[in-house]
């Protein structure tokens, strides 16, 4: 690992740095969710769209809805729905 930096700080300073870093990470995750970049399963997408799971499988197999496969699992992006 390159670019390592070691500093000496108090327990309170460390807690503050850790809190700020975690808040940044959580904010990035929230932005991703707001931008609809989350992947969801066929079952989750069917519930969101109020469609039958079979209907979504049919639309993905006909390439009407873009999808990703992770092994045998089919994943969809919110943005594509």
pLDDT digits over 7-42, tens only? 899 999 999 999 999 998 888 777 666 555 678 899
The SS3 assignment for 10 reads: coil
- Could you tell me if 17 and 25 are in contact, meaning their C-beta atoms sit under 8 angstroms apart? no
Q: In what order do the strands lie in the sheet containing 68-70?
A: 39-41, 73-77, 68-70
What's this model's pTM, rounded to 2 decimal places?
0.51
Burial class of residue 81 in the structure, from the number of CB atoms within 10 Å of its CB (0-12 exposed, 13-18 middle, 19+ buried)? middle
Domain boundaries, the chain: 39-80
Instruction: Copy the structure tokens of residue 39.
Output: 């992947």
For 40-68, what is each residue's pLDDT tens digit? 899 999 998 999 999 999 999 999 999 98
């Amino acid at each position: 690992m390159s670019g390592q930096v070691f500093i000496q700080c108090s327990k309170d300073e460390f807690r503050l740095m850790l809190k700020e870093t975690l808040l940044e990470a959580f904010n990035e995750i929230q932005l991703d969710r707001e931008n609809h970049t989350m992947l969801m399963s066929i079952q989750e997408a069917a519930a969101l769209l109020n469609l039958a799971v079979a209907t979504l499988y049919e639309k993905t197999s006909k390439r009407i809805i873009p999808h990703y496969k992770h092994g045998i699992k089919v994943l969809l992006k919110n943005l594509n729905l």
